[in-house]
Amino acid sequence: MTNDEILSLTVLTSWKLIISRFDKIVGGLTDEQLQQQVAPGKNRLFYLLGHLTATHDRMFPLLGLGDRLHPELDDTYITNPDKLLGDPLSATELRRAWAEVNNKLTAAFERFTLEDWLQKHTAVSDEDFAKDPARNRLAIVINRTNHASYHSGQAVLAK
């Protein structure tokens, strides 16, 4: 294995691990249990699942990987706090969307070379990227992995 391959593998292993941990948390719950709040007055598990699905779905255009699969989730799970708007998808549909988005992203990441990882993401200008080459796709995926881990820490409290 070359250093570049080891690097890709290391980052991908972390991404997959965090996704699989969140999968395990919500996969072990009934649809009814998904309506629980992580703590009194805090977000529902359902909201966190919607929030992570929407956030990950936004990576398709952000990383130049094509169109989003579920833009309908943003209003409810990114723009607004929990319970302000009704859930646009059923639990079954949302669980399916979560898996679909992550599987498609993971398949794309598995084809990334080191050059691909270090390309700029689409929310940064050429000029700003020249000043700060750390604003690359790798940074986005590491950041989103941390973000999923952040909400996993909350989700386990509901158990």
Q: Which residues bind a second copy (CB under 8 A)?
A: 1, 3, 6-7, 9-11, 13-14, 17-18, 38-40, 42, 114-115, 118, 133-134, 136, 138-139, 142-143, 145-147, 149-154, 157
Task: CB nearer to a second copy: give 93 or 132.
Answer: 132
Task: CB nearer to a second copy: give 89 or 141.
Answer: 141
Element (H, E) at 150: helix 137-155
Task: CB nearer to a second copy: give 39 or 96.
Answer: 39
Residue count of the chain, please give it. Answer: 159
Residue 16: CB minimum distance to a second copy, A: 11
- Compute CA distances 137 → 38, 60, 64, whole Å: 31, 11, 9
Nearest to 151 by CA among 42, 65, 70, 58: 42
